[in-house]
Structure 1
Amino acid sequence: MAVPHPAALSASPLQRVAPALFVLLWSTGFLGAKLGLPYAGPMTFLGVRFAIVAVLAAPLALASGARWPERPAQLLHVAVVGLLMQFAYLGGVFTGIAHGVPAGVSALIVGLQPILTAALAGLVLGERIRPVQWLGLALGLAGVALVVINPALLDRDRLGAAGITIVAMVAITVGTLYQKRFCSGIDLRVTVVIQNAVSALAMLPAALLFEPFTIEWTPRFVFAIAWLAIVLSLGATMLLFYLIRHGAASRVSSLFYLTPAVTAVMAFALFGETLSPLALVGMALAAAGVWAVNSSGRG
């Protein structure tokens, strides 16, 4: 019988609900993309979002006394992670959704990131990979395969967009490993500023080059970009910082396998998105895979 950790017994109500709240907020990111993309191209949308986050986060980091990188190499490492986890990852997700990938499917594909991270950690970081983690990887890949062969995705454009989303998942996986290797001691508040500033500087020229760079400032778009920039990029990040400070970050990983299902339910309620029975089976398999990897990691 497992004995509860003493810290768990004295956890405040906020500490108990914060992990679930974080995952719920994280799930809304895919919906915010779907809500705002009809009014701006994906690169334009993200370039403006990154710029807003950087401008808002900088004074918060300065006012809170966050410690900034002291060496240029540290700054470079954080910038590289930003390009992988913001520019490439979110750029791929938004582009996929803009070209017809359902929000629930997008969440499922990138939700395999913990599985791929566990597999690559054995090769890159020398961490031991347990048999249950290989099982989780197999379940996750099988689940995505069942979702991607959904007839709604079997046209050239949508299948290509799903491929872009897979590339995004690889980008955030590589970014996670890179951050673990080179950026583990850098303050999260500072990381938010640097990564969003660098990504804005990269994304805005790309938007000017590849998109009309026009925005329809409708109430829906304003709500979407405000939600993603303020509530998600700032609020959820600060919530994660709170969880790390109080030792509850591990509980977040135990709930991440629910993200695709939560996103799919909200996408159905808000946008009428539906998944085929085969896709639902795939989502269940993928969730089981992520759960297996997270459970083994905590053990």
Structure 2
Amino acid sequence: MTRTHAYIACLFVVFFYSGNILVGSALNELPPITVAFFRVLIAAVALLPLGWQSAWRYRSAFRRHLGPLLLLTITGVTFFNTFIYTALQFTSATNVSVLEAVIPVATALLSAWLLRERLRLVQWTGVLVSFIGALWVVMGSVTDHLFGGWNVGDLVMVGAIVSWALYSIAVKRYIHLFPEYGTLLVMTSLSVGLLAPLVAMEWTVMGVPEFGYWAHWAGLAYLGIFPSVIALLLYNRAVRVLGASQASVFLNFLPVVTMIGATLFLSETIAAAQIAGASLVIAGVLLTTRVARKRP
């Protein structure tokens, strides 16, 4: 994959992940762990004909590098989207998309901490600007009480941000150890096993949900194929070419695409504070990743 192809792949990732948020919001009648479980189950079934041969051929590599494999699985497949769908039970699709756009900043910070990458003054400035923008969005106004505008969904998104930032770093360090399709099959299959007891607990507490509406299955099919398989393949390939920081910076476009989709399809009203906060988040992310994007 060339750099140009990697950029195009990242744009498709943004559209598919925006659809993940919009469809996940439309499915909030279903419990969040249930949505996450059926997403990975459908993804595993879709990947079976593509990845079973390479998964079997590289089974010794999976056993040998079980730690990195579990890190990739837990952060990028199992709990990232569980956090997303849980957050959508309590907050808007727009808020989720803006907070998800903070991921490149979180990736840069974790890279500085875990990989000892040095951040320059302009990058630290970008971190601060993005943080202020995220606060602005979830509080509704910078003049609100410090935590008055936060809700449970906004706080849950912190888990999603950290999960994907860790996944981006893990992809750069470990994904070359595994085959492409076989790895996704193994990761989604492991996620099915990890989420199965959690969804059983959810059904015990909340009752078994009704799946009678065709829209439920259509939405779950979208989540299981496009964001779970196609977008993840494209993102992993882009990270190999561009690096974690440059690939994740394309998430800047996520709030814009999601805001448009939320207005058209979910009848959400976009407040001026959300637009202003999203602009600050995007500006801060651009500053944070500025040095990385200039490197050849």
TM-score range, shorter chain: 0.7 to 0.9
CA spacing shift, 1:18–1:194, aligned 2, 3 Å: same
Cα distance in 1 for partners of 2:149, 2:210 equals 24
Determine the structure 1 residue equivalent to 2:34.
44
| Alignment pair present for 1:117 and 2:112 | no
Q: 2:292 & 2:104 partners in 1: Cα distance?
A: 10
- The question of 1:81 aligning with 2:72 is answered yes
The answer on 1:22 being equivalent to 2:13 is yes
* Aligned 1:254-273 pairs, distance under 5 A: 254-273=249-268
**C-alpha displacement at 1:66, in angstroms?**
9.0
Q: CA deviation at 1:60?
A: 0.3
| % identical aligned pairs | 21
How many angstroms does 1:179 deviate by?
4.0
Alignment of 1:91 onto 2:82: yes
Q: What is the aligned counterpart of 1:160 among 148, 152, 165? A: 152
Secondary structure of 1:128 counterpart: coil
Distance (whole Å) between structure 1 residues aligned to residue 269 and residue 116 of structure 2? 41
Instruction: Give, as a single letter, the amino acid of the residue that structure 2 aligns with 1:298.
Output: R
Deviation at 1:232, TM superposition (A): 2.1
Q: In the alignment, what sits opposite 2:192?
A: 200
> Please, what TM-score do these two structures have when normalized by structure 1?
0.84
> For residues 80 and 107 of structure 1, do their structure 2 counterparts lie closer, same or farther at Cα, with a shift above 3 Å needed?
same
Cα distance in 2 between the residues matched to 1:73 and 1:64 = 16
Quick one: distance in 2 between partners of 1:275 and 1:288? 19
> Matched residue of 2:45: which SS?
helix
TM-score (norm 2): 0.84
- Report if the CA contact (8 A) 2:138-2:149 is conserved: no
How do 1:1-299 and structure 2 match up within 5 A?
17-38=8-29, 40-62=30-52, 68=58, 70-71=60-61, 72-99=63-90, 101-150=91-140, 159-211=151-203, 212-240=207-235, 243=238, 247=241, 252-299=247-294
1:69 and 1:111 map into 2 onto residues whose CA distance is: 35
> How far, CA to CA, are the matches of 1:44 and 1:156 in structure 2?
30
Question: Residue 41 of structure 2 contacts residue 224 of structure 2 at CA under 8 Å; is this kept in 1?
Answer: no
Change in 2 beyond 3 A, CA 1:287/1:62: same
**Structure 2 spans left out of the alignment, 5+ residues:** none
Question: Cα–Cα, structure 1 residues 181 and 83, in superposed 2: closer, same or farther, change >3 Å?
Answer: same
Which residue is equivalent to 1:3?
A: none
**How many residue pairs get matched?**
285
Query: Structure 1 residue 85: deviation in Å?
Result: 2.1
Three-state SS of the structure 2 residue aligned to 1:70 is helix
Aligned letter for 1:269?
L
Displacement of 1:157 in angstroms is 11
- Following TM superposition, by how much is the alpha carbon of 1:254 offset from its aligned partner in structure 2, in angstroms? 4.6
CA distance in 1, matches of 2:41, 2:66: 18
8 Å CA contact retained: 2:134, 2:277: yes
Please say which of residues 67-76 and 78-87 is displaced more in the overlay.
67-76
Amino acid at match of 2:94: G
Amino acid at match of 1:75: L
1:227-261 CA distance string (max 9 Å, x none): 1111221222344466568x578875453211112
Are residues 144 and 232 of structure 1, via their aligned partners in 2, closer, same or farther at CA, if it must alter by over 3 Å? same
Whether the 8 Å CA contact 1:82–1:195 is kept in 2: the answer is yes
Question: Partners in 1 of 2:50 and 2:149 — Cα distance?
Answer: 42
AA aligned to 1:227 is Y
**1:133 and 1:276, CA in 2 relative to 1: closer, same or farther beyond 3 A?**
same
Q: Which amino acid aligns with 1:62?
A: W
CA deviation string 1:90-119 (max 9, x = no partner): 1111001022x1111111112211111111
Q: Does structure 1 conserve the Cα–Cα contact (< 8 Å) formed by 2:100 and 2:251?
A: no
